[in-house]
Amino acid sequence: MSKDVIIACDFNSKADLMTFLDKFENEDRKPFLKVGMELFYAEGPAIVKEIKARGHKIFLDLKLHDIPNTVKKAMAVLSALDVDICNLHAAGTAAMMEAALEGLTRADGTRPLLIAVTQLTSTSEERMQNLLIDRPLDEVVMHYAKNAKDAGLDGVVCSPLEAGKVKAVCGDAFLTVTPGVRFADGEVGDQVRVTTPAKARELGSDYIVVGRPITQAADPVQAYHRCIREFLGGEVE
């Protein structure tokens, strides 16, 4: 996969999602979409199938974190939905990540990309200390990323501010999927570790995940095009 902008479709109903997607009906380029817990829990697996039928790539963002056997079985179910990227929490241990890969791999050997969440972009060192994680945030993220790579995963979810450091530790081929991206003239919202689309590319992000700056924009299509220009330098691959 080449670099891309992923729109976070954090809607709570199919109706709201389709109203949003209809705005892109005349676009030659179908946006890459993130389906998270809110939409998936509201509409179930059927919404994923419907979005795929419309020609969109999907990052299914459910952040699994459970015992290895449970995650393995859940990933087998998600793999059948033919999504492009799945994720889980790196904190679930190497055994859980390895089990997830087993479940995700289909009989023909194919599978979606699997990435691990390191630390959420709403997390700060102060909040980590409340969980008795007393190491520096960067050190924790790099440790989780290295564990994910060693377990055979394709990449991690991290802040764009950490993307370059992850590449240095895990190699250029290891994917960095980065939320916490806002336009320079936009609101930060509930994110802590944020940057702009252009800076995210400069820092080493492979995919940026952008929600409200696009979905809540007065003109979502224009906002998406702006994000593409700023992150891809005008290139549409």
Phi, psi of 44, rounded to the nearest 5 degrees: 80, -175
Residue with tokens 């793999």: 79
Enter the tokens of residue 118: 């390191």
The label of the residue with tokens 């039928």 reads: 53
204 in helix, strand or coil?
coil
- What Rg, from alpha-carbon coordinates, does the chain have? 17
Ramachandran class of 180: left when φ > 0, alpha when ψ lies in -120 to 50, beta otherwise: left
**Cβ pair 10, 36 in contact under 8 A:** yes
Establish whether 23 is a catalytic residue: no
Determine which one of 30, 52, 63, 199 is catalytic: 63
Give CA–CA dist 227/5, Å, rounded. Answer: 7
Identity at 136, one-letter amino acid code: P
C-alpha to C-alpha distance for 171 and 134, rounded to whole angstroms: 26
Task: Name the residues annotated as catalytic.
Answer: 63
